[in-house]
Amino acid sequence: MELPPGRHRLTVLARTKDDMPTISSSVLVESPLRLADRPVVHHLAVGISKYDDDKLSLQFADKDASELALAVRTSCTGPANIYRDVKTTLLTNQDASRKAVLEALDATRRIATANDLLILSFAGHGVREDGEFFLLTREADARNAKALTQTAISGVALRKALEDYPCQVLLLLDACHSGAFAPLARYKPATDDAARALADVETRVAVMCAAAGHEEALEAKGNGHFTAAVIRALRHDPKAFFDAETGELNVYHLQAFVYQEVAKATDYRQNPYLKMPLAHPPVVVTRFGK
């Protein structure tokens, strides 16, 4: 039997001479795409530890971005994988300007195809002011909302960059650090607003947040707890959840493992969560070999 590429569930119907039908158990059959036809992961990894304003500086955000980029690049391809390639754009510290991030999203938009996956990971500060959220790039001026609009990525700008994107988008948002920093103390956290705004029916971005809006993203042993757990799942940690039948690790598996590991490691002071668009199919992040 010749099957088109994809996953198929086959059942045999047998009939006897007296026309009594018998149906077999079903089996899952994989008809793989040719390597050249497989989709691509586009990973834009942003991490800012050294801001132009020294008072905003973090410890491990740049390291988180670099190590996550390596984990995605090495874990999301291979003979058994559904993806044929990972195209990585790494923007850390001085390279992680508002202009650079938005230009990178636009560049990927021009080359991405329908079956591809864009992973946008952001490690840095995020704040909310005057009903708008902002992701603080390296040149962020936190004096007021007007200054942030010109020097950070506003919710309006990010929604515009991601609306009607040609492929599925997964945002890994680790922007829950602002409460501990004096220049940002008057602002409210951005995480919850960003998740609601980007996972709506128009933008349709799957958003994994490192912590709830009232919580702080914690760090230990050289990484943020959130990024460390994501990397462990991608590298097929023995405790990671995945589909044992297909080998696929989708965003629901990833969230379950990350929540479990981060919440326990922080004594439930940090609780990652997932916001999915309504009726959105599971985002498959990688597939492990059988």
User: Which domains does the chain carry?
Assistant: 35-287 (3.40.50.1460)
Mean pLDDT on 229-245 = 96
Mean pLDDT on 152-158 = 96
Work out the pLDDT band at 17, boundaries 50, 70, 90: confident
For the cut 70, the answer to whether the pLDDT of residue 290 exceeds it is no
The label of the residue with tokens 């059988």 reads: 290
Q: Quote the pLDDT of residue 78.
A: 86
* DSSP-H helix ranges across the chain: 61-75, 98-111, 145-151, 155-162, 191-198, 225-234, 251-265
The rounded distance, in Å, linking the Cα atoms of 193 and 133 is: 7
What is the residue type of 122? F
Q: Quote the pLDDT of residue 102.
A: 98
pTM, full prediction: 0.89
For the cut 90, the answer to whether the pLDDT of residue 89 exceeds it is yes
Q: When comparing pLDDT for 197 and 290, which is higher? A: 197
Work out the pLDDT band at 177, boundaries 50, 70, 90: low
Mean pLDDT on 43-68 = 96
